[in-house]
């Protein structure tokens, strides 16, 4: 296992580089967000706002066309991409080519918040993992699609086959599971020596460094295992974030984090691990500032977005 670095201050200040006077939106990162479905529209908004508040220049939000009226005028800064829907109002496979075309003009794709577990949507996400040429942040229902795909593969193929198969992914994959999602991913992988009773969600919560490193090793990704002392694991190193606490344990804060990660990676494409670690730190710091202002129990996901600019400002000043 790589040496563990503890993050209680900004470790990579160069990620918050000073922008030149002559600077244009196309240079500030272009992000594609694929999110939302009929019963889960809010997740897309939280992720998109996390992207914008982190300094991204151009955001395109892709969602099922049957819910387009919901997003009308809610995110005036974002470009919208209404995509074909399934009968259950989630993303359809028939939108595959449009997504590929749009992604090719972006720096990163964020896939998952609120997509639903529709079987057709799940297949679409699995296909995109191996066909997009840009880094991917995979969150929420995107992680469920990943687990489902691995489960299907492992019924017929070996662990070694699976590991080799993931080498077909054309660019960096960033996973952002909480312990429950990590439990399902690990169960799907079923690595040698795996014991479902031992690797419970409680075990994962206590041993996040071990589990994040294991997922990274088997899938070849960057793993952001969320929770108390969020762990960022990659083949480059392991960072344990010590900033942020129970104020972040509320619905939607994970969607916000995925947006922040996507934004900073888009702005720092040659420093993906450092950008991811910095995003986790700023997310935690924004939560702490919100707690200072409102009290721990009152903080919700939109408050993290509200105080993210202050978190970035404080970090730039140090």
Provide the CATH number for the domain around residue 262: 3.40.1190.20
Helices 272-294 and 301-317, axial angle in degrees (round to 10): 110
- At 122, is the secondary structure helix, strand, or coil? helix
Q: Taking the alpha carbons of 64, 68, 71, 75 in that order, is the dihedral positive or negative?
A: positive
Question: Which residues lie below 8 Å from residue 161, measured CB to CB, with a gap of 6+?
Answer: 153
Helices 42-53 and 301-317, axial angle in degrees (round to 10): 10
| Whether the Cβ atoms of residue 272 and residue 12 lie closer than 8 Å to each other | no
pTM of the model as a whole:
0.97
Compute the half-sphere exposure of residue 141: CA atoms within 13 Å on the CB side of its CA.
Answer: 26
Minimal CA–CA distance to 308: which of 271, 256, 252? 256
Dump pLDDT digits (tens) for 201-234: 999 999 999 999 999 999 999 999 999 999 999 9
Query: How many Å is the maximal CA-CA distance in the chain?
Result: 57
Note down the domain range covering 220: 4-317
> Does 106 have pLDDT greater than 70?
yes
Residue positions counted in the chain: 318
The total number of structural domains in the chain stands at 1
| Whether the Cβ atoms of residue 139 and residue 174 lie closer than 8 Å to each other | no
Dump pLDDT digits (tens) for 139-192: 999 999 999 999 999 999 999 999 999 999 999 999 999 999 999 999 999 998
Compute the half-sphere exposure of residue 281: CA atoms within 13 Å on the CB side of its CA.
Answer: 24
> Does 2 have pLDDT greater than 70?
no
Task: Report the alpha-carbon angle 45-61-27, nearest 5.
Answer: 110
Please state, for a pLDDT cut of 90, what percent of the chain lies above it: 85
- Indicate the pLDDT class of residue 306, thresholds 50, 70 and 90: very high
Q: Mean of the pLDDT values across residues 232-244?
A: 96
Mean model confidence pLDDT for the chain: 94
**Rounded CA separation 295/208 (Å):** 27
> Does 21 have pLDDT greater than 90?
no
**Rounded CA separation 272/264 (Å):** 8
Dump pLDDT digits (tens) for 267-305: 999 999 999 999 999 999 999 999 999 999 999 999 999
| Whether the Cβ atoms of residue 279 and residue 261 lie closer than 8 Å to each other | yes
**Rounded CA separation 259/176 (Å):** 11
- Indicate the pLDDT class of residue 3, thresholds 50, 70 and 90: confident
């Amino acid at each position: 296992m790589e040496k563990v670095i503890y993050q209680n201050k900004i470790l990579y200040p160069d990620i918050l580089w000073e922008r030149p006077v002559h600077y244009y939106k196309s240079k500030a990162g272009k992000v594609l967000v694929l999110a939302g479905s009929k019963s889960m529209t809010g997740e897309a908004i939280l992720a998109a706002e996390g992207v914008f508040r982190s300094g991204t220049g151009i955001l395109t939000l892709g969602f099922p066309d049957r819910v387009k009226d919901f997003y009308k005028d809610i995110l005036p800064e974002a470009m919208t991409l209404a995509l074909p829907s399934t009968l259950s109002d989630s993303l359809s496979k028939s939108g595959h080519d449009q997504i590929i075309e749009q992604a090719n003009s972006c720096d990163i794709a964020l896939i998952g918040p609120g997509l639903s577990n529709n079987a057709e949507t799940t297949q679409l996400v699995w296909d995109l993992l191996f066909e997009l040429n840009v880094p991917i942040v995979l969150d929420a229902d995107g992680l469920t699609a990943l687990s489902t795909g691995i489960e299907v593969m492992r019924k017929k193929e070996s662990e070694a086959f699976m590991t080799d198969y993931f080498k077909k992914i054309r660019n960096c994959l960033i996973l952002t599971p909480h312990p429950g999602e990590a439990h399902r991913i690990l169960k799907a992988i079923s690595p040698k020596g795996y014991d479902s009773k031992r690797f419970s969600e409680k075990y994962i919560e206590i041993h996040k460094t071990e589990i994040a490193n294991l997922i990274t090793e088997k899938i070849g990704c960057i793993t952001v295992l969320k929770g108390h002392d969020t762990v960022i694991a990659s083949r480059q190193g392991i960072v344990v974030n010590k900033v942020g606490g129970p104020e972040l344990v509320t619905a939607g804060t994970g969607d916000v984090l995925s947006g922040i990660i996507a934004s900073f990676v888009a702005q720092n494409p040659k420093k993906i691990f450092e950008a991811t670690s910095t995003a986790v730190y700023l997310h935690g710091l924004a939560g702490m500032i919100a707690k200072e202002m409102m009290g721990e129990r009152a903080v919700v996901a939109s408050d993290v977005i509200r105080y993210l600019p202050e978190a970035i400002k404080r970090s730039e000043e140090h």
